[in-house]
Amino acid sequence: SQAEKGGFPHFMLKEIYEQPEAIRDTLRGRLDPESGRVDLSDAALSPEFFEGLRKIFFVACGTSYHAGLVGKYLLEALAGIPVEVDLASEFRYRDPLVDEGTLAVVISQSGETADTLAGLRLARDKGARVLGIVNVLGSTIAREAHRVIYTHAGPEIGVASTKAFTSQLTVILLLALYLGGLSGRLSPERARLLARELVEFPGLLQKLIPKVHPLLKELSEHYFRQENFLYLGRNILFPVALEGALKLKEISYIHAEGYAAGEMKHGPIALIEESVPTVALAPRESGVVYEKMVSNIEEVRSRRGPVLAFGTQGDEHLAGLSTDFVGLPPVSWEISPLLYTVPLQLFAYEMAVRRGCDVDQPRNLAKSVTVE
Ligand code: AGP
């Protein structure tokens, strides 16, 4: 009903707007911005649980899998632990190299996804420690994991995952800060800076969402008749490109592919023409990969492909190169997946609305996939 949607036309939009609060709830009591220290005692986690850890395996499906991909970038960089990421449906049928030195992190909003649950059981049977990142309290995955960090995003009704994803990213950041501290790879100064930025992030997002929403709504007017999209990102924003493409395809039924921008020349550039727009993620702060993204955008434009670029506000160079440009505030590399995800959700939402799609209940999809 309208009341349940809190005045929003769809649950999905309500849940997009709830993200600042959801991230605040995820962080609550777990991060001290003064010291940069992470406390995961609400999940019964202490340094002993991680003793002798040699490898981390993220196992999940769909959007939760994309959170795991971001986790690889974060944990390897901040904690220096080798990370593998697997789709649960692959992991469970391929005899993965898992042993007592492995931490399996299973990520699931619902806590009931059949393949993810099977992956959990397999990892546990092989002697791994299993940590769940779960939204639904008391769900099967939450009960069967050795430990669980709840995302505390609140109930997510829309089939397209939005606030659950950004809450998962937030938990993974906490885990990276925690393990980075334990390993000594993350300096206390850097930890403090990141902690402060993370605590301030919900406030930033709260101001940003109502500001960029009208712009994305307007942009959807130019793009909603297209049937094929490419989403490009690099490094930690490559999984965000995958997630942006998944959002668009599942709710608007537009074919969208996420790609690591460096792969363009290995195939997808053949698709580029006037009727195939590219969504490009190119924050100026992303160092060497920024220049690489700029080259990729030039390559697309020279083949007459429209480019909708998301980058750092005030980046006139990028704005000039692109067909359309959405400027976002500068943030640290670690935080950038959280930030860049949100405008892509709003874009997918507005595209689906213009196409008259059933945003909250897309065809053929279920909120929780409890059968294979
Ligand atoms: C996301 O928008 C999806 N509808 C879907 O990919 C989902 O993320 C996937 O089914 C995993 O669900 P879970 O997080 O509840 O395990």
How do residues 257-284 score in pLDDT, each as one tens digit? 999 999 999 999 999 999 999 999 999 9
Q: What is the pTM of this model?
A: 0.98
pLDDT at 157: 95
Q: Measuring from each residue's beta carbon to the nearest atom of ligand 1, which residues come in under 6 Å?
A: 61-64, 108-110, 113, 116, 159-161, 250, 365, 368-369
DSSP 222: H
To test ligand 1's pocket by mutation, which of 10, 61, 86, 107 has the most ligand atoms within 8 angstroms of CB? 61
To test ligand 1's pocket by mutation, which of 86, 89, 113, 345 has the most ligand atoms within 8 angstroms of CB? 113
Could you tell me the distance, in angstroms and rounded to a whole number, from the CA of residue 12 to the centre of ligand 1?
A: 14
Whole-angstrom distance between the N-terminal and C-terminal Cα of the chain? 31
Report residue 104's pLDDT band, with 50, 70 and 90 as the boundaries: very high
Residue 349's contacts (CB-CB under 8 Å, 6 or more residues apart) are 10, 12, 13, 16, 251, 359
User: Which whole number is the average pLDDT over 18-42?
Assistant: 97
Could you tell me the distance, in angstroms and rounded to a whole number, from the CA of residue 346 to the centre of ligand 1?
A: 18
Report residue 230's pLDDT band, with 50, 70 and 90 as the boundaries: very high
pLDDT at 371: 87
Question: How confident is the prediction for the chain on average, in pLDDT?
Answer: 97
User: What ligand 1 atom has the least distance to the C-alpha of 247?
Assistant: 2
The verdict on ipTM greater than 0.95 is yes
Could you tell me the distance, in angstroms and rounded to a whole number, from the CA of residue 351 to the centre of ligand 1?
A: 20
Residues 239, 172 contacting (CB under 8 angstroms): no
Nearest CA to ligand 1 atom 6: 62
Strand 31-32, strand 37-38: pairing? antiparallel
pLDDT at 3: 78
Residue 126's contacts (CB-CB under 8 Å, 6 or more residues apart) are 96, 98, 99, 102
Could you tell me the distance, in angstroms and rounded to a whole number, from the CA of residue 326 to the centre of ligand 1?
A: 27
Active site residues: 367
Residues 195, 243 contacting (CB under 8 angstroms): no
The residue behind tokens 């949100």 is 342
User: Which whole number is the average pLDDT over 330-359?
Assistant: 98
H/E run at residue 258: strand 255-260
